[in-house]
Structure 1
Amino acid sequence: MTSPSLYWLRNDLRLTDNAALTAAAAAQGQVIFLYVLDDETPGDWRLGGASRWWLHKSLEALSATAPLVLRRGAADKVIADVLTESGAAAVHFTRDYAPWSGALEQRVKAACEAAGASCHRYGGFLLQEPETIRNGSGEPYRVYTPFSKACFAAGEPRPLKPVPKFSGWTGKLKSDRLAGWGLLPTKPDWAKAMAAHWTPGEAGAAARLKDFIADGLEHYADERDRPDRDVTSRLSPYLHFGEISPAQCWHAVRAAQLAAGGKLDKAAEKFLKEVLWREFSYHLLHHWPTLPEKPFRPEFSAFPWSKNPKGLKAWEMGRTGYPIVDAGMRELWVTGIMHNRVRMIAASFLIKDLLIPWQDGERWFWDTLVDADIASNAASWQWVAGCGADAAPYFRIFNPVLQGEKFDTAGTYVRKWLPELARLPDEFVHRPWEAPALVLKAAGVELGRNYPHPVVDHAKARDRALAALKETKGIQ
């Protein structure tokens, strides 16, 4: 009997355009599909609650098309056990870029060598490997715009790989029950509403991409900052779990652009630049692996943050008294995602209005976002905080009222997620504390009772943030 190949699934939960699976299937014999729930190796960065919900649903979907072996534990030890139990001749897997992944992959390689099996690592989670895009001096990029230009100059991504022909291993291997992993919440079932907004899995990813190209892409460049419009791709969780590859997204958008006779030039370029922001985030993470925990600009290590547990709790629960911020936090709680523009507004409020460390917000997003991503999360929070690579200046402080009035002009987004404010007139929906008492009463709004007073005065909070900036030596 020919020895099987072991395909170690990671954040590549798809059959299409999968180099590791293609190579495993091309070898003679059968393929063992192994997924390891490793809560040990990432330490404090074990999957958050929303990600665990998504993972359960994604594995459930994948199990309908591939025979999965599920194990729990340190990935290198589990792989060593499966090699011994199965006699597999080779291990194939997709590269990961988290700070702990390089060392883990080396331990997997050592386990393979000890078992007499070959070890093969492949790309596919990114368009380009982080080592390949360098500036003119051969150094990694620190600024997004020249990085994105270099990526465009590198040419179109590689051709896509079709679903390979494979057969599952007919031998016997012990497998955990997915339900036994406890990935889904029990009581209270805070994820119940998420199912109405998402279809995790490869088929759901393909459908989402198709819908975006048909209905959202045309308006993407002009309206992507409008939370009251449904034009964003919402592909981020599918990309994070590898249910679709960035190359698939890229080629699909290019094909739509070609079919439209170039009419989508502006929209396509804007979307592809967002794909490249994801690439840039991983470029940074690879070259600066402390990105999720320490400021990229070390002078920010001395910034005088405030200890404000009440403020943090109000922000987490969407009870700050600033409607656009609260609407975003409520959307996050219900759907596991937040509109991209509102993420920036909410993050700026936490960091600059409340002077709460960006790491606290990063951790909350890690637990509550279905697209929680170690690189994009860290890079984006540091961008807003002003301490990251290619960061927005710290003195750029979003005014939550003006941002709401600019991007949610009629208050449609706020009214959707804050029904207690639904009857307020447009002129007050983003600033309810300024509404006359009779207007509040007619709208059924009781400040301090069914909607909070603002936790801070934004103008004063802005001055305080700028004063704190001045106190910190070396920040300009």
Structure 2
Amino acid sequence: MGMNKTIVWFRRDLRIEDNPALAAAAAAKDGSVFPVYIWCPKEEGQFYPGRVSRWWLKQSLAHLDKSLKSLGAELMLIKTDSTLEALLECVNAIQATKVVFNHLYDPVSLVRDHNIKEKLVELGISVKSYNGDLLFEPWSIYDETGHAFTTFDPFWNRCLHMQMKAFSLIPPQLILAEGKVGKCSIEQLGLEDESEKSSNALLGRAWYPGWNKTDKALTEFVEQHLLHYSKNRLKLARTKQILWANEGNSAGEESATVFLRAIGLREYSRYLCFNFPSTIEKPLLGNLAFFPWKTDPANFKAWRQGRTGYPLVDAGMRELWATGWIHNKIRVIVSSFAVKMLLIPWRWGMKYFWDTLLDADLESDILGWQYISGCLPDGHKLERLDDPAIHGAKFDPEGEYVRQWLPELARMPAEWIHHPWNAPLTVLRASGVELGQNYPKPIIDIDQAREQLTEAIFKMWENEAASKGSGSEERHEVVDESESLAIPKVFLKDKVSHITSSSNDQKVPTLDNPQIDPPNRKRPKCSAEVEQKQNNSRNLSKDTGVSSIDQDVSSTAESSCKRESSSSYSFSVPQ
């Protein structure tokens, strides 16, 4: 047995291919590895994953363990109240000489990883961390003045001109380090309880977690779907392979460019969270902190349950609850409806998506919700309000999607299905639709919503001016209650008996790269500079109609089960 014993600490990188931390541990001469996954619910805090995300995690861990066993190792599962203590237990158990892991970029993880690395180094343990998540590290991309980018296009243009390293191959064989730790079975992690298993069983019919399933999807995507991606953006693939697979392929250039741009937004989401850590709870644009959101529990509940009276929005929200997933266009439409038509605080929407999305991703979904809410310099214009009825006619002209998820509108003609409130009484009767009875009337009129949004924008400017006049530099998001903004707790239903239940039956919730020497990290531009960039790039538009929503490729979801408080984050660039 070798003398170099390395702990490989898995987190969100549950794969054996393209895993630089695992590859580095396996490449060590005369060495052995100790793969470990540590589940610490206490440290998850406000970012504790929702039911469907935990189901996916459970399946992925089982698949990773199987993959590691095929290489001669196994995954040690540990449930604890302290990640540091669990790692120290592993170090002592096998007399480890090194700990390796791949980077995470959200501020909470950065602080935790820094503290853990500091403690291990104090004990004489070598610690190395790697880039196993991004094309380029977020501290390696800055503008000509050395500041972080605050808009996507210049960021992505810079990325496209940078040299990218090859991905890591699967290790040929692993030698497992011997040692006894307080490990547990995957069931003992408690990722799902008995009341959730019947609902989760439905997920297993539609989804196939595991890194090799992704590889198969990648191969199919590149060979069959990539050339048509610009018109049919449905599947997911690995970025580096897409870049290489399409060099010189002019026929697929447009689709590859569109797809890579979508992947670039994921890259950008980590970049923003690293360089602007406060975006996990505050808007990037400071003036949005003064926006008067409406904390109306009734409207929030109607939106969650798919009872807004706008068929496309309702269909999307019911599909989300039933399957844990909705298409990106639908995510944009339902999130825009929440924040622009109902003025629901964007963090409330993110919280609900975090609890219900199968692919909930903190950084990507912060970017998505801030983008939709007008919180970013290059996001949706704050005054932009999209009419769901018009989008329905555009993206679901025959009403097939709406009929699938709103059985009460199954007989409604395509002409009226996206705006049944305009349908003649004879059509409603023939379709079996009784507005206000078996399907709700619109929760708000589009013109009323537009007027309400305009008034809120003016109120935002007034609030900001008043704040500056008072000499107060501290910014708090404005709500129409005396208390500061608190996100309602979401209580998830125990069971889902069938996928397409009627609206009356559906009880939806009530609520390191070591080869790169990181430069001296410069502070991002201040909020005032960001706001100035917004003023230079965006003029107030009178057009509040439909924009090209099909070009939006942002994802939506968030975190924070309880009240989000302002925090100060201190961290260093990973080494």
TM-score, normalised relative to structure 1: 0.91
Aligned to 1:440: 428
The range that moved more, 295-304 or 170-179, is 170-179
Aligned to 1:68: 75
Q: Distance in 1 between matches of 2:458 and 2:297?
A: 24
Secondary structure of 1:428 counterpart: coil
Offset from partner CA, 1:204-246 (integer Å, 9 cap, x none): 211222233344322221243xxxxxxx1246xxxxxxxxxxx
Report 1 or 2 for greater relative contact order, CA contacts < 8 Å, sequence distance ≥ 6.
Answer: 2
Trace 1:319-398 onto structure 2 (pairs within 5 A). 319-398=307-386
Deviation larger for 441-450 or 324-333: 441-450
Letter in 2 for 1:168: L
Tell me if the contact between 1:39 and 1:47 (Cα under 8 Å) persists in the aligned partners. Answer: no
- Supply the AA of the counterpart residue of 2:277: P
Pairing of 1:231-270 with structure 2 (within 5 A): 232-234=234-236, 249-258=238-247, 261-270=249-258
- Contact kept in structure 1, 2:151 and 2:377, CA below 8 Å: yes
Given that residues 191 and 334 in structure 1 are in contact (C-alpha distance below 8 angstroms), is that contact kept between their aligned partners in structure 2? no
Partner residue of 2:297 out of 299, 305, 309: 309
How much has 1:95 moved relative to structure 2?
0.6
* Count of residues in correspondence between the two structures: 454
Change (3 A) 1:433 1:310: same
**Aligned residues of 1:84 and 1:115 also touching (Cα < 8 A):** no
2: CA distance, partners of 1:199 / 1:468? 44
Question: 1:3 Cα shift?
Answer: 4.7
Whole-angstrom distance in 1 between the partners of 2:222 and 2:407: 31
Structure 1 residues 215 and 314: alpha-carbon distance in aligned structure 2, compared to 1, 3 A threshold: farther
With over 3 angstroms needed to count, the CA separation of the structure-2 counterparts of 1:464 and 1:437, relative to structure 1, is same
Cα distance, 1:19 vs. partner?
A: 0.6
Q: Please give the alpha-carbon distance, in whole angstroms, between the structure 1 residues aligned to 2:385 and 2:459.
A: 17
**Does structure 2 retain, via aligned residues, the 8 Å contact 1:319–1:326?**
yes
Separation in structure 2 between the aligned mates of residue 122 and residue 360 of structure 1, nearest angstrom: 33
Secondary structure of 1:426's match? coil
1:72 maps to amino acid: K
| Aligned residue number for residue 518 of structure 2 | none
Structure 2 Cα separation of the partners of residues 182 and 446 of structure 1: 45
CA distance in 1 between partners of 2:425 and 2:199 (Å): 35
* Mapped partners of 2:47, 2:381: distance in 1: 28
Query: Tell me, what secondary structure is at the counterpart of 1:7?
Result: strand
Q: 2:434 and 2:199 mapped to 1: Cα distance?
A: 27
Letter in 2 for 1:16: E
Mapped to 1, the partners of 2:215 and 2:435 lie a distance apart of 45
For structure 2, list consecutive stretches of 5 or more residues without a partner in the other structure. Answer: 69-73, 465-530, 532-539, 541-575
Render the CA deviation track for 1:407-443: whole Å, top value 9, x for unaligned: 2222222222223222211111111222223322322
Task: For residue 46 of structure 1, report the CA deviation from its aligned partner.
Answer: 1.9
**CA separation of 1:443/1:334 partners in 2, compared to 1, >3 Å: closer, same or farther?**
same
Q: Is the 8 A contact 1:53 1:185 kept in 2?
A: no
Judged with a 3 Å threshold, the aligned counterparts in structure 2 of structure 1 residues 41 and 14 are, in CA distance, closer, same or farther, namely same
Residue 160 of structure 1 aligns with which residue? 167
Aligned counterpart for 1:51 among listed residues 38, 53, 76: 53
Distance 2:314 2:194 in 1: 26
- The separation in 2 between residues aligned to 1:192 and 1:456, in whole angstroms, is 37
| Contact residue 41 and residue 100 of structure 1 kept, 8 A | no
Q: What are the superposed Cα offsets for residues 18-46 of structure 1, whole Å, 9 maximum, x if unpaired? A: 11001111223221110011223332112
8 Å contact from structure 1 (residues 93, 122) kept in 2:
yes
Between the aligned partners of 2:373 and 2:432, the Cα distance in structure 1 is 36
- Asked whether the equivalents of residues 94 and 178 of structure 2 are also in contact (C-alpha less than 8 Å), the reply is no
Distance 1:52 1:374 in 2: 14
Is the contact made by 1:351 and 1:385 (CA closer than 8 Å) also made in structure 2? yes
The Cα of 1:139 is off from its aligned counterpart by 0.6
Tell me, in whole angstroms, the C-alpha distance in 2 between the residues paired with 1:114 and 1:233: 45
Amino-acid identity (%) = 37
Letter in structure 2 aligned against 1:124: G
Aligned twin of 2:177: 169
Taking the aligned partners of 2:65 and 2:334, their CA distance within structure 1 comes to: 37
Q: Kindly tell me: are residues 287 and 410 of structure 1, through their superposed partners in 2, closer, same or farther at Cα, counting changes over 3 Å?
A: same
Partners of 2:231 and 2:313 in 1: CA distance: 22
- Which residue of 2 is the match for residue 19 of structure 1? 20
Report what 1:38 is aligned to: 40
Partner of 1:101: 109
Q: 1:83 Cα shift?
A: 0.7
- Cα distance in 2 for partners of 1:191, 1:451 equals 28
CA distance in 2, matches of 1:99, 1:436: 54
Q: Which amino acid aligns with 2:230?
A: A
Matches within 5 A, 1:176-187: 176-187=184-195
Distance in 2 separating the partners of 1:150 and 1:467: 39
- Root-mean-square deviation (CA), in Å? 1.8
Q: How does 1:59-138 map to 2 (within 5 A)?
A: 59-66=61-68, 67-73=74-80, 74-138=82-146
The residue number in structure 2 matching 1:416 is 404
Change (3 A) 1:396 1:49: same
CA 1:286–1:429: 2 relative to 1, 3 Å: same
Aligned match of 1:404 = 392
TM-fit CA distance, 1:406: 1.1
- What is aligned with 2:524? none
For 1:323 and 1:102, the matched residues in 2 are separated by 42
- Distance, in Å, in 1 between the alignment partners of 2:96 and 2:83 is 16
1:350 touches 1:361 (CA, 8 Å); kept in 2?
A: yes
Q: Does 2:303 correspond to 1:294?
A: no
The alpha-carbon deviation at position 10 of structure 1 amounts to 0.8
Q: Which of the numbers 195, 204, 210 marks the counterpart of 2:204? A: 195
Instruction: Give the 3-state SS of the residue equivalent to 1:92 in structure 2.
Output: strand
Aligned to 1:219: 228
Instruction: Rate the CA distance shift 1:16–1:219 in 2: closer, same or farther, 3 A.
Output: same
Counterparts of 2:438 and 2:13, CA distance in 1: 44
Contact kept? 2:89, 2:181, Cα under 8 Å: no
| CA distance in structure 1 between the aligned counterparts of 2:377 and 2:57, rounded to whole angstroms | 30
- Cα–Cα, structure 1 residues 458 and 18, in superposed 2: closer, same or farther, change >3 Å? same
Q: Which amino acid aligns with 1:197?
A: A
How many Å separate the matches in 2 of 1:13 and 1:148? 27
In 1: Cα distance, 2:262 partner to 2:146 partner: 24
Deviations 1:150-193 (A, max 9, x none): 111114x3112210121223433331111122212532543332
Change (3 A) 1:371 1:472: same
- Alpha-carbon distance between aligned partners in 1 of 2:236 and 2:437, rounded to the nearest angstrom: 34
> Structure 1 residue 340: deviation in Å?
0.8
CA contact (8 A) 2:32 2:176 kept: yes
1:256 is displaced (CA, Å) by 4.4
CA shift for structure 1 position 463: 1.1
- Is the 8 Å Cα contact of residues 3 and 87 (structure 1) preserved in structure 2? no
**1:284-312 CA deviation, whole Å, 9 max, x = no partner?**
10011111211111111111111210111
